[in-house]
Structure formats: structure tokens, C-alpha cells
Amino acid sequence: MIPKSLQEIQLQIKTKKLQVSDLVQQYLDRIEQSKHLNIYVEVYKEDAIQRAIELDTKIKSGDQLGALYGCIISVKDIIVQKGKHTTAASKILDGFVSPYSATALQRLIEEDAIIIGRTNCDEFGMGSANENSIYGPTKNGADPSRIPGGSSGGAAVSVQMNTCLIAIGSDTGGSVRQPAAFCGIYGLKPSYGRISRYGLIAYASSFDQIGILGHTPDDIGLILEQISGRDELDATSSHVPVENYDPTEQIPSPTVAYFPQMIDHPKLNPDIKSAIEEKIEQIQSGGGKVVPVDFQYMDFLVPTYYVLTTAEASTNLSRFDGVRYGYRATDSNTLEDMYVNTRTEGFGNEVKRRIMLGTYVLSEGYFDAYFNKAQKVRRLIKEEMESILENVDFVLLPTSTSIPWKIGELADDPVEVYLSDVFTVLANLTGLPSINIPAGTNTDGIPLGIQIISKKYSENKLLSFSKRLYYSQKK
């Protein structure tokens, strides 16, 4: 049985009950056994085995080890690694091999973590189901007929099925937290700027953030500590000092807010509502204070998010034109034909939909009516959340409106899929840290999740509170 915490893995390595080589092989065996779920688009088998042998040699020699030795990690196919293919699950990046590594990935490798492969995702991170991938959909390990969530669906299932200890994903509007909820694991979206975005293929630059998925808050905290901090290669990375993660930190008497209009949302699944209500009782019985707070911008969250993210996407994705790298259409007579044919053939339907919407809201005559107005609403939402968090420690809310739906069930209803992000986009609009906490399962064994938001750069406090909110499985 593979341990599900880095502390236990490192203890077994220190006591010579486990070698890194054996650990890697166990994970590779798990990957092979779960191939039917379409988790990985590429497994770095030889690299992982070789790196494990090198670490075993270091251990036997008594050499200094990095903080993350024994930590086996999967990486979403949207974060680049030097010498490796990265496609963002899109045909338009077919054949692209990165000449550099993302800063976050490089920091992991320098601390002796092992990257075992890249995981499937929605194309360019655009989706909530992991169905918009050139590689086909990833399936949920709890029920393979259901989606795992998106866009970091492959990342979530890689942890869910114990094919790695930690997965690195990205979160633009819930793409780490929602699949974490659907797969019964923890998923953290840090504060905007906490982790360098250098090497993360951009969808919406003012929203995107590298996130972490794992079995325990402690493991996520240790990973966060290693990959956070200022990066001169990313001007949006924060100068705020990174605190050392303390797994023993306690939050004795927290004050927690919740929004009644979210708990009473007509589309909220009743099992998720019950899980939220149970957590409220748990917090109160543990000495915490829970207060209802009115949030007046509920109806503006999804429209504001999609106006702004599609606008940024239409700009960011203009670089993919078949000229410099990736896929190029061959049957073209002029330069313009090549541009048009490459983008028509290279992008999937959801990416085209968002590019078109973004181009529309940025166009002359509509820029002020949509984009500028959405920016103003975003500012109001941010100010409202900051005001709320001046008086409370945390905000408790659902992660998703629903349990994972059947694969293909909402394929013809993109608006319904967009609306499923109503609770997660709040943290991205405001740049605040947020984590999904597993909240048991429904009667069919389908995972449930709840979400906690805290003040900016308070990830350690958020993780400590997450540990307090242990979950009880529903029978």
C-alpha cells in the first residue's frame, strides 16, 4: 500500500522500509492499472526510474537531500518542462517541445521531487468537465461514467487513484478546486501572485494561478512553501515573504462567514447543502463562530468572470498562428489562409467559442458596454470580499452547485456548464486563496466538496483550518 502523505513516505525511506525506486515503480503500476480513466497524456517512465535510482544513491551515500525527496508529482499538460512536449490538450500545439521549464516545476525538481508525467486537461484550461481535450475525456475514478471536473481533471484523478502523491494544476475560475471536489481530495488555489506563472500557458493572465492537489493539507503546505515566492521572470509574482509551513498551527476560535444566498441557491445539490450545514455545526461545536453575511454581487459573478476571461483569452491565444511553433495547416495558398486554416483546424469548439466572445467584448462599440463595465464590477466584488474578511477569518461556501455529471450529459449546453462555476470564480475575481475540502460522499459513493476562502497571502492559516475540518463519510 502506497502511503498517502509525504511525512510517512519519508519516514519509511529513512527507516529503510522503502526505496524511492520501489515507490516510483508502485506508482507506475498504478498508472498502468488506471489507463482506462485516460489520466495521463504522457508518462515519463524512464526519466522517473532514473531519477529514483539517483536519489537512492544519494540516500545511501548520506548526501544532502532536498525537502521533497520521495514526493512523486504529476503535472497538468499546460505547465511547460524543458525538453518535454506540452500541448495544453490542443491540436494547435502538436509537436511543441518546451525550451525551458516553468519556475514552479524547476523549484520542485531542485528539491528532489520526481515528475512522473503530464496529465490530461481541458484545452487551454477552458472547461469544467475535462471533456474539451484533444486526447478525449478523463473519467472519474469514483464512477467512470462521470466527469472528473475541469480543467485540471486529469490532475485530480491522478491523485484520486494514487498514481502520484501530488498533482500540479492551474486554476482560472475553479479548475483545481472543482475537480478536487468531484474526486474527493484537497485542492488549493493560492493567492494571485503567490506562485510564479512563468511557464504556465496563459488562458486569462489576471486570473490564472498554479494550484496544488493532494491527499492532505500538510503535503499541500509543504509543496506551496517550496514553489512560492518572488520570481524575476514573472512581474505579477508577489514580493510578500513566504512563511514556512507549520503543520502544528492551530486556529482555536475562528469566525466563519457564509452567504445564505449560496446555501439556498436553487441549483445547489441537496447533499452538498447538507455537507455545508454539517460543517457549520462542526465549527460551532468546536468553539468557532459562524455568521451569515449578505453578499450583494452573487448574480454578477459568472457574467463578470466570462466577459473578462474570454477577453484575455482572445488576446493571449492570438500568438498561436502556425508561424513559430506547434501545428500549421498545410493546404493554404496565402499567409492569411494559413492563419485562418491553422486556427480553424487547431482550436477546439470551446476555445473558438471563447475567442469569439472575447473578441466581441473587446471590439469597438462594445468595449465600454462590456469589458470596462465588467472591470468595474470586478473591483466592487473585490472590495466587498475584502470588507467581509476584515471582520471574519474565513468564508465557507460550496465548491460546486452539483455532483459530477455524466460524460456527455451537458455537451450541448455550455451555459449550464458555465453556471456550475458560480461558487469558484469568486476567489479568482478577487485574487484570494481558496481550498476545496473533501466532505464525504453521497449515497452512491460520489464525492462531495466544500470550499473555504481566506484573506490574501494567508494560505498557512487556510490550510491549518482545513485540517480542523475533518470529514465524515456519508453512508
Given the C-alpha cell 468595474, which residue does it identify? 376
Do 39 and 144 meet the contact criterion of CB atoms below 8 Å apart? no
151 annotated active-site: yes
Whole-angstrom CA distances from 63 to 31, 69, 72 are 30, 12, 20
Catalytic residue (choose from 90, 98, 175, 237): 175
- Which strands sit side by side in the sheet containing 255-258, from one edge to the other? 40-43, 114-119, 72-76, 166-171, 209-214, 186-189, 434-441, 447-454, 394-398, 255-258, 289-292
101 annotated active-site: no
Strand partners, 450: 398, 437
Of 163, 172, 201, nearest in space to 79 by CA: 201
Q: How many CB atoms lie within 10 A of CB 403?
A: 21
Catalytic residue (choose from 21, 76, 196, 454): 76
- 3-class SS at 175? coil
Q: Exposure of 186 by Cβ count < 10 A (0-12 exposed, 13-18 middle, 19+ buried)? A: buried
Whole-angstrom CA distances from 262 to 3, 278, 380, 403, 416 are 37, 15, 18, 16, 17
76 annotated active-site: yes
Whole-angstrom CA distances from 289 to 263, 281, 286, 405 are 17, 10, 9, 34
Catalytic residue (choose from 90, 133, 151, 158): 151
Q: How many CB atoms lie within 10 A of CB 375?
A: 14
Distance of alpha carbon 381 from its chain centroid, rounded?
A: 22
Q: What gap in Å lies between CA 174 and CA 127, rounded to an integer?
A: 10
Residues sharing a CB contact under 8 Å with residue 11, sequence separation 6 or more, in sequence order: none
Catalytic residues: 76, 151, 175
